[in-house]
Structure 1
Amino acid sequence: MSPREPHIERFERSFFTLFRKLGPELGLPEHISLTGPQTMMLYTLRTMGPCPGGKLAQKMEVTPSAITVMIDRLVQQGFVERTHDGHDRRVVMLSITDQGMDVLQQLRVIRDEALKQYLAYVEPDELELFLAIFEKIVKKIEE
């Protein structure tokens, strides 16, 4: 095996440790009956506002048929509702319900507490630099 660049090895080791330790704390508590992808769908709907399923699928980078299955479950749980577009009744609009907003708020409280605990180890100027670099990497990934 060829030697690795030290910064890549450090990043990988830190990345895996972070997600192994922090992942369970940021995961979904047992009383919330959502999967990770369903949670991301709710976050996306909250951000986008009411939208057609095809647009949601495109934003989440999945097929429209995959969105349909996930949305069916979220509708059954009362987290998402389907309505017809006022201008074109063939278009079905998806939107997050108040119940969906409530579950996202519960998750926000849980996750904020966990993240606050770990980010407290970093000085404010270091935190700003870390976040700027992290956001730069994410922006390139999304392009």
Structure 2
Amino acid sequence: MNEMELARKIMHMTYLFRQERSAGMQQKEVFMTHRDVLMLDAILKLHPKEGMVRMNELSHYFGITPAAVSQMIKNYEKKGWIERVHLEHDRRSVYIKVCDSAIHHMQECENRITERLGVFLSSLGEEDAQALLRILEKGITFAREHHDSSKQEKGE
């Protein structure tokens, strides 16, 4: 199998894996995507003492447009995951705070994922699980090196 065929097969398997994951979610479960968890986690951790951030901080942190952040925040607000806060001393800025219910859902998602991953790794066996870890570490190293080299090519 050549590299292109292998790449297509891996992409297809990733697609199938995601489909199975979505199909396996029960309706009563709160579904949070990886992006949801990352965004909510960033809100919690950027200023852990205050527990709030401004939308422009999220835009800068993730390198995405303010409009994209605004759309996500609007969606999270509809789901009851975040609330907008106006401070008395800073009426012009809107701060975003994660609601307790979202924190609870994030913990449930993390527990579910950890449990499922544990079962998956057990089914692989020690040797294959270690091989998977080694391959993922190589992938991260490659991505970092490739990211750094593409920055240099662009003169950043």
| TM-score normalised by structure 2 residue count | 0.66
Greater relative CO (CA pairs within 8 A, separation 6+): 1
1:3-51 Cα offsets, whole Å, 9 max, x none, are: xx82343243124213312443267653326566544422332343422
More helix by share: 2
Once superposed, which parts of structure 1, at least 4 consecutive aligned residues long, lie more than 6 Å away? none
1:112 to 1:89, Cα distance in 2 relative to 1, 3 A: same
Any residues of structure 2 matched to 1:1-143 within 5 Å, and which? Answer: 6-25=2-21, 29-31=26-28, 32=30, 37-49=35-47, 50-84=52-86, 88-120=90-122, 121=124, 123=127, 125-140=130-145
SS for the counterpart of 2:40 is helix
Matched residue SS, 1:90? strand
**How much does 1:103 deviate?**
0.8
Instruction: Note if contact 1:119-1:127 (Cα within 8 Å) is conserved in structure 2.
Output: no
- 1:117 maps to a residue whose letter is V
Length, aligned pairs only? 139
- Counting aligned pairs with the same residue, the percent is 19
Give the direction of change, closer, same or farther, for the CA distance of 1:75–1:26 in structure 2 (3 Å limit).
same
Whole-Å separation in 2 of the counterparts to 1:30 and 1:60 = 30
Q: Which runs of 5+ in 1 are unaligned?
A: none
Cα shift at 1:53 = 0.4
Say whether the 8 Å CA contact 2:55–2:69 is kept in structure 1.
yes
- After TM superposition, give the deviation of residue 61 of structure 1 in Å: 3.8
- In structure 2, relative to structure 1, the CA distance for the partners of 1:109 and 1:58 (3 Å cut) is same
- TM-score, normalised relative to structure 1: 0.70
User: How far apart, in 1, do the equivalents of 2:11 and 2:103 lie?
Assistant: 30
Deviation of 1:127 (Å): 3.8
Unaligned runs of 5+ in 2: 149-156
Q: Does the CA contact (< 8 Å) of 2:32 and 2:109 recur in 1?
A: no
Q: Cα–Cα, structure 1 residues 112 and 33, in superposed 2: closer, same or farther, change >3 Å?
A: closer
